[in-house]
Amino acid sequence: MKRGSLVTIAMQGDFGKPRPALIIQSNMFNKEHATVTVLLISSELVEAPIFRLNVLPNSQNGLTKPCQIQVDKIMSVRAEKIGKKIGELDEASLTSVNRALAVWLGLA
């Protein structure tokens, strides 16, 4: 499990159904930290290009339908809530995520 991996997660509460997520946490903390920081991914598409990034399914990312990475849905979940890896985000898309995170968090 590393930054840029697309995985399945099982959340409780409002986001309770199993869903894909993008790991955004630095790889430096993977072994010693109990939680993993992710962005939720949704197949419910909305018009919000600054913080909802479109991703088309392909063999690299393992998604099955068009989705959006929800930069506004940053979550840290216990590592045991992380399911199987379904794929990897390509480098260009990960760069777009980094830029959107900087804007969303007020770092840009």
In whole angstroms, give the CA distance from residue 26 to residue 2.
Answer: 8
Q: What is the pLDDT of residues 36-89, one digit of tens each?
A: 999 999 999 999 989 999 999 999 999 999 999 999 999 999 998 899 999 999
For the chain, what is the radius of gyration of the CA atoms? 13
Looking at every residue in the chain, the average pLDDT score rounds to 92
Q: Is the pTM of this model over 0.75?
A: yes
Residue 81: what pLDDT? 87
Q: What is the pLDDT of residues 88-105, one digit of tens each?
A: 999 999 999 999 999 999
Structure tokens at 80: 């045991």
Domains and CATH numbers, the chain: 5-104 (2.30.30.110)
In whole angstroms, give the CA distance from residue 73 to residue 56.
Answer: 19
* Contact present, 89 and 4 (Cβ < 8 Å): yes
Residue 1: what pLDDT? 80
